[in-house]
């Protein structure tokens, strides 16, 4: 068994990019298995900061193979921008990057469809990143999509035009004015031209039958890390539907998004923030609307890596964390961003919800912030900066107690603790099987 999986246990933005980058030297392959450019994975080292959307976060290690799996959806234009940005910083991107032929393409008209669909939903909108995620996965499942491996087929141009026509029929029906809608600051025709040009570059990249590619590497005893995007509470089946994304963000996505069998999985590394954030609409029982929420947002720089939107902030929610641990079979935990709470005298943690006078400790079918009043337990803050300790043994006692409190509740060890955005601000706790 040589495949480990790292995935988010909350509503995304837990810090997956940072930790994948930190763990990459332990792996031969890093592979993305779902999602698309709705993801924004931030990595900071040597005073530089990168945000990756489609490219796996192992790209900064020259020895690591990076694979964009079949479950990922690709916008060639966004991918090319990402590649160019990395190359400009001196990163060798293309020699270690492989793309599945079976990955689906996000067309410019998918992005217009996304905007039209959100407009139609009005106040009930999802709060999508508007990268065309929902419409692209919809076309995949309804068997209308176009894949990377299709680009070179003789019928690609016709299939593209046919699909675009269908999209524009929907857009027209919805009353959405696509001429008034700009994609990345460009009108549709200019954007489409750029998209077509980047398609040619995608053809020149290393395309593979990724399920064979990765299984051959596994058979050669290469170590693989599967990198999740989004978080378990945004999962299409188990998230707060319909305020979710359109892919399987839980462990199930690894099997369908890479073609890896369940018996190849070793560790399931679940990553969570020491508090909670959410961007976009949907229930968030522990959301804070007061000064503490504002402090978490400002100190935690909680603004979307992909859209720049302010993230909603609140206390840690244990029933939903336990739910995500259960769904994924998490074997160890990584805790992020506790440094953001350094100044707090008191830290609250939700251990249950009050729903219609009943106390429940699970995530109910009708999850909705208004009907779920969190039941909190209170812990003392550590009143100390934890960002720059030289040694894991120097950490404040109350901080260690906070970690142990969470471990005691969820019954899974916290093996890695992150106390700042930089690679170096990472502690491996004792008995860590990853090092």
Integer Cα distance of 57 and 290 in angstroms: 34
257 contacts ligand IMO (rule: CB under 6 A)? no
Distance CA 106, CA 149 (A): 14
Write the CB contacts of 73 (distance below 8 Å, at least 6 apart in sequence): 35, 36, 103, 104, 105, 106, 132, 133, 136, 137, 140
Among candidate residues 4, 21, 28, 41, the one labeled active-site is 41
Instruction: Determine which residue in the list 73, 99, 318, 336 makes contact with ligand GDP, applying CB under 6 A.
Output: 336
CB atoms within 10 A of CB 275: 27
Residue 239 near which of ligand IMO, Mg ion, ligand GDP, none (CB within 5-8 Å, type-dependent):
none
Q: Does 39 bind ligand IMO (CB under 6 A)?
A: yes
Q: What number of helices (H) and strands (E) belong to the chain?
A: 11, 20
Residue 126 interaction partner, one of Mg ion, ligand IMO, ligand GDP, none, beta carbon < 5-8 Å per kind: ligand IMO
Is position 6 an interface residue for ligand IMO (rule: CB under 6 A)? no
C-alpha dihedral, 45 to 51 to 53 to 59, nearest 10°: -20
CA 427 to CA 416: how far, in whole Å?
Answer: 6
Residues 304-343 that bind Mg ion (CB under 5 A): 305
User: From Mg ion, ligand IMO, ligand GDP, none, which one binds at residue 147 (CB under 5 to 8 Å depending on kind)?
Assistant: none
Strands, E, within 253-345: which ranges?
Answer: 265-273, 276-278, 312-314, 316-317, 332-336
* DSSP 8-state symbol, 124: G
Site for ligand IMO contains 12 (CB under 6 A): yes
DSSP per-residue codes, 153-169: STTHHHHHHHHHHHHHH
Pick one of 77, 80, 96, 129: the residue that binds ligand IMO (CB under 6 A).
Answer: 129
**Cβ atoms of 112 and 188 closer than 8 Å:** yes
Select from ligand IMO, Mg ion, ligand GDP, none the partner in contact with residue 332, using the beta carbon and a kind-dependent cut-off of 5 to 8 Å: none
Give the number of residues written for the chain. 435
Check binding of 13 to ligand GDP (CB under 6 A).
Answer: yes
Q: By C-beta, is 184 or 359 nearer to ligand IMO?
A: 184
56 near ligand GDP (CB under 6 A)? no
Site stretch for ligand GDP (CB under 6 A), options 150-158, 198-206, 400-408, 417-425: 417-425
List b or e across 378-406, with b for residues whose CB sees 16 or more CB atoms inside 10 angstroms. Answer: ebebbeeebeebeeeeebbeebeebbeeb
Pick the piece of the chain touching ligand IMO (CB under 6 A) from 125-133, 187-195, 314-322, 410-418: 125-133
Burial of 229 (C-beta count, 10 Å sphere; 0-12/13-18/19+): buried
Q: For strand 29-32 and strand 265-273, is the pairing parallel, antiparallel, or unpaired?
A: unpaired
13 is catalytic: yes
Report 350-369 residues binding ligand GDP (CB under 6 A).
none
CB of 230 vs ligand IMO, minimal distance in Å? 4
Quick one: 280 or 285, whose CB is closer to Mg ion?
A: 280
- Given the complex with ligand GDP, which of 136 and 425 has the nearer CB atom? 425
Identified catalytic residue from 4, 13, 139, 317 = 13
Per-residue burial over 169-197, b if 16 or more Cβ lie within 10 Å, else e, is ebbeeeebebeebebeeeebeebbebbee
- 134 interacts with ligand IMO by CB under 6 A: yes
Asked if 418 interacts with ligand GDP (CB under 6 A), we say yes
Closest to ligand GDP by CB, 116 vs 233, is 233
Among 128, 198, 210, 267, binds ligand IMO (CB under 6 A): 128
Name the residue with the smallest CB distance to ligand GDP: 42
57 lies in the binding site for Mg ion (CB under 5 A): no
Query: Closest CB to ligand IMO among 369 and 398?
Result: 369
CA atoms within 13 A on the CB side of 106: 28
Query: Are 252 and 82 a contacting pair, CB within 8 Å?
Result: no
Identify the CA nearest to 239 among candidates 227, 229, 249: 249
Q: How far apart are CA 282 and CA 269, in angstroms?
A: 26
Indicate which single residue of 337, 347, 403, 410 sits in contact with ligand GDP (rule: CB under 6 A): 337
Among 4, 8, 133, 382, binds ligand GDP (CB under 6 A): 8
Regarding 82 and contact with ligand GDP (CB under 6 A), the answer is no
Q: Which of ligand GDP, Mg ion, ligand IMO, none lies near 253, with the C-beta cut-off 5 to 8 A by kind?
A: none
Q: Please list the active-site residues.
A: 13, 41
Q: Summarize as ranges the residues that interact with Mg ion (CB under 5 A).
A: 13, 40, 305
Q: Summarize as ranges the residues that interact with ligand IMO (CB under 6 A).
A: 8, 11-13, 35, 38-41, 126-129, 131, 133-134, 229-231, 234, 245, 279-280, 305
Q: Summarize as ranges the residues that interact with ligand GDP (CB under 6 A).
A: 8, 12-18, 40-42, 44, 300-301, 305, 336-337, 339-340, 418-421
């Amino acid at each position: 068994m040589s495949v480990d999986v790292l995935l988010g246990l909350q509503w995304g933005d837990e810090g997956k990019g940072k930790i994948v980058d930190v763990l990459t030297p332990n792996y031969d392959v890093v592979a993305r298995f779902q999602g698309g450019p709705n993801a924004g994975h931030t990595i900071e080292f040597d005073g530089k900061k990168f945000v990756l959307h489609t490219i796996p976060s192992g790209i900064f290690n020259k020895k690591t193979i990076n694979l964009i799996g079949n479950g990922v959806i690709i916008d060639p234009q966004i991918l090319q921008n990402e590649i160019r940005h990395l190359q400009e910083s001196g990163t060798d991107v293309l020699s270690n990057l492989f793309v599945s032929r079976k990955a689906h393409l996000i067309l410019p008209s998918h992005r217009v469809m996304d905007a039209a669909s959100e407009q139609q939903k009005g106040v009930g909108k999802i709060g999508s990143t508007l990268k065309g995620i929902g419409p692209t996965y919809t076309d995949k499942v309804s068997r209308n999509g176009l894949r990377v491996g299709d680009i070179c087929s003789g019928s690609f141009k016709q299939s593209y035009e046919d699909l675009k026509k269908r999209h524009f029929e929907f857009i027209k029906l919805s009353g959405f004015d696509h001429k008034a809608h700009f994609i990345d600051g460009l009108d549709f025709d200019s954007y489409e031209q750029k998209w077509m040009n980047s398609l040619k570059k995608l053809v020149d990249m290393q395309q593979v039958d990724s399920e064979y590619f990765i299984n051959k590497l596994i058979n050669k005893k290469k170590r693989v890390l599967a990198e999740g995007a989004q978080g378990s509470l945004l999962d299409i089946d188990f998230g707060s539907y319909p305020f979710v994304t359109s892919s399987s963000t839980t462990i199930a996505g690894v099997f369908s998004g890479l073609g890896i069998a369940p018996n190849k999985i070793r560790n399931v590394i679940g990553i969570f923030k020491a508090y909670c954030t959410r961007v976009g609409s949907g229930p968030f029982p522990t959301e804070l609307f007061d000064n503490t929420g504002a402090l978490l947002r400002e100190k935690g720089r909680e603004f979307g890596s992909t859209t720049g939107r302010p993230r909603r902030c609140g206390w840690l929610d244990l029933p939903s964390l336990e739910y995500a641990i259960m769904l994924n079979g998490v074997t160890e935990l990584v805790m992020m961003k506790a440094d953001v709470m350094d100044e707090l005298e008191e830290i609250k943690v939700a251990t249950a919800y009050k729903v219609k006078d009943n106390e429940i400790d699970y995530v109910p079918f009708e999850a909705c912030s208004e009907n779920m009043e969190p039941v909190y337990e209170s812990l003392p803050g550590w009143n100390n900066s934890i960002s720059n300790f030289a040694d894991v043994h120097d950490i404040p006692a109350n901080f260690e107690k906070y970690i142990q409190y969470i471990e005691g509740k969820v019954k899974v060890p916290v093996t890695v603790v992150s106390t700042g955005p930089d690679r170096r601000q990472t502690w491996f706790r004792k008995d860590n099987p990853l090092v």
